Amino acid sequence: SYADMYGPTVGDVVTLGDCGLQICIEKDYTVYGDECKFGGGKSIREGMGQQTGATADQALDTVITNALIVDAVSGIIKADIGIKGTHIVGIGKAGNPDMMDGVTPGMIVGNTTEVIAGEKLI
């Protein structure tokens, strides 16, 4: 199912650990059909999810894909987390803006970007 491959989306309920506390996803910044996914034959590869020719300065150093974020201000969201150096520089949709819809400005994935799968992680 969708949640097994890409993690929960808007309206899905997630139980936190073994405490019985449940949360409901309020926002999903990933774009259905254009989610970043790493692995054999998945979307994060050069020319698809990775922007061809993006320099290290333009691309994220690290991206955590399809992560579940619980924040007191923003709410409970599913998004990609973009990291440059030691700072989180973006929460939204990462990828290749030449090929993918809805990529958040500044969250370009290049061939220098380390990808961490965040599906099923909080």
> What share of residues in the chain are helix, strand, coil (percent, to 5)?
5, 35, 60
4-7 long-range contacts (CB < 8 A, ≥24 apart) are 5/37, 5/119, 6/30, 6/35, 6/37, 6/66, 6/119, 7/66, 7/67, 7/68, 7/78, 7/118, 7/119, 7/120
Q: What is the pTM of this model?
A: 0.84
CATH ID of 1-117, from 3.40.1390.10, 3.40.50.1400, 2.30.40.10, 3.90.120.10:
2.30.40.10
Residue that wins the pLDDT comparison between 39 and 9: 9
Could you give the CA distance from residue 31 to residue 18 in angstroms, rounded to a whole number? 30
Yes or no: say if 68 and 115 are a contact pair by the CB < 8 Å rule.
no
pLDDT, tens digit (0-9, with 9 covering 90-100), for 45-93: 555 678 888 898 999 999 998 899 999 999 999 999 999 999 999 999 9
pLDDT for residue 18:
82
* % pLDDT > 70, the chain: 83
Task: Taking residues 35-39, report their average pLDDT.
Answer: 61
Could you give the CA distance from residue 45 to residue 72 in angstroms, rounded to a whole number? 34
- Give the model's confidence band at 8: pLDDT under 50 very low, under 70 low, under 90 confident, else very high: confident
Apex CA 97: angle with CA 94 and CA 102, to 5°? 65
Q: 2: helix, coil or strand?
A: helix
Return the domain boundaries, the chain.
Answer: 1-117
Q: Evaluate if residue 21 carries a pLDDT over 80.
A: yes
Q: C-alpha dihedral over 1, 30, 86, 69, to 10 degrees?
A: -70
